[in-house]
Amino acid sequence: MAYVISDSCVSCGTCSDQCPVGAISAGDTQYNIDADSCISCGTCAGVCPTGAISEE
Ligand code: SF4
Ligand code: SF4
């Protein structure tokens, strides 16, 4: 099960810097997680300042 980013994302980029597999990239309005690359380590959810990331 991959992690997902909600519309609470403020595009700070912190999660993208911390992801060990580079699954997170910037989108037009918020950051997005590539479900096929995500290994569900949970690191991103722990560093997001707005709590925008959760398990799908
Ligand atoms: S759960 Fe881990 S692998 Fe998946 S996007 Fe977050 S940091 Fe990357
Ligand atoms: S850490 Fe949270 S607020 Fe920052 S880019 Fe990632 S999902 Fe968005």
For residue 2, the ligand 1 atom closest to its alpha carbon is 4
Burial class of residue 24 in the structure, from the number of CB atoms within 10 Å of its CB (0-12 exposed, 13-18 middle, 19+ buried): buried
Ligand at minimal distance from the CA of 37 is: 1
Instruction: Give the bridge partners for 33, in sequence order.
Output: 24
Secondary structure of residue 13 in the 3-state scheme:
coil
User: What is d(CA 48, CA 15) in angstroms, rounded to the nearest whole number?
Assistant: 6
Q: Report pLDDT for 1.
A: 85
Say which DSSP state 46 is in: H
Domain count, the chain: 1
Task: Answer yes or no: is the C-beta of 48 below 6 A from any ligand 2 atom.
Answer: yes
Secondary structure of residue 42 in the 3-state scheme:
coil
Residue nearest to atom 8 of ligand 2 (CA): 9
Q: Report pLDDT for 36.
A: 97
pLDDT tens-digit map of 3-42: 999 999 999 999 999 999 999 999 999 999 999 999 999 9
For residue 41, the ligand 1 atom closest to its alpha carbon is 2
Q: Report pLDDT for 39.
A: 98
Q: Report pLDDT for 10.
A: 98
Q: Which domain holds residue 30?
A: 3-55
Task: Answer yes or no: is the C-beta of 54 below 6 A from any ligand 2 atom.
Answer: no
Closest Cα to residue 30, out of 50, 46, 6? 6
Q: What is the CATH number of the domain that holds 46?
A: 3.30.70.20
